[in-house]
């Protein structure tokens, strides 16, 4: 059975993974492998369909494949030429603020804002909806990831 604490743990792992990918990139370590591990551990691409709409995707808005997700995070392949590597921007912290959580027996949804801290200490707010499913080891895996920048009145 999924609990809200499981969702919070999964969100913390996701945020820590983004920070670790950025740190590996900055240190000249194998950030691509770290990103692959992040996706393999936290996303459900090996279990079935994943609906992934990343924040800064314009030309290829949706990333239904592992390769598309990897490209978004580290921009190291030709899957999506527009990608700049969201996870290698140097983020030093990620925190989630859930607005709402819906839990069923083997899946859950969480929606709210998450905040990415740059090396200069600036916080960037992004809106998110994550869907989770449970794998055979009873770990939460992301099968829905939608994020976007907040609307602007400018």
Per-residue pLDDT tens digits for 40-97: 999 999 999 999 998 878 888 899 999 999 999 999 766 788 889 999 999 999 999 9
Among all chains, which residue has been given the structure tokens 């990918």?
21
pLDDT at 153: 64
Q: What pLDDT digit, counting tens, does each position of 120-148 carry?
A: 999 999 999 999 999 999 999 999 999 98
Cβ atoms < 10 Å from Cβ of 105: 8
Contacts of 19 (CB under 8 A, 6+ apart): 91, 92, 93, 94
H or E stretch at 154 = none
pLDDT, average across residues 13-23: 98
Say if residue 59 is exposed, middle or buried (CB neighbours under 10 Å; 0-12, 13-18, 19+). Answer: exposed
CB atoms within 10 A of CB 119: 11
Domains in the chain: ranges and CATH:
4-148 (3.10.450.50)
SS3 per-residue string spanning 25-93: HHCCCCHHHHHHHHHHHHECCCCCCCEEECCCCCCCCCCCCHHHHHHHHHCCCCCCCCCCCHHHCCCCE
């Amino acid at each position: 059975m999924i609990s809200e604490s499981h969702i919070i743990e999964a969100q913390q792992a996701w945020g820590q993974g983004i920070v670790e990918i950025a740190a590996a990139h900055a240190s000249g370590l194998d950030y691509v492998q770290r990103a692959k591990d992040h996706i393999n551990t936290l996303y459900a691409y090996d279990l079935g369909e994943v609906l992934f709409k990343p924040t800064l995707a314009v030309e290829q808005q949706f990333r239904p494949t592992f390769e598309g997700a990897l490209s978004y995070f580290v921009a190291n392949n030709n899957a999506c030429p527009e990608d700049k590597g969201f996870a290698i921007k140097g983020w030093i912290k990620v925190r989630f603020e859930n607005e709402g959580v819906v839990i069923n027996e083997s899946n859950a949804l969480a929606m709210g804002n998450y905040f990415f801290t740059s090396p200069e200490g600036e916080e960037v707010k992004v809106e998110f909806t994550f869907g989770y499913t449970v794998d055979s080891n009873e770990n939460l895996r992301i099968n829905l990831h939608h994020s976007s920048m907040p609307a602007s009145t400018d």
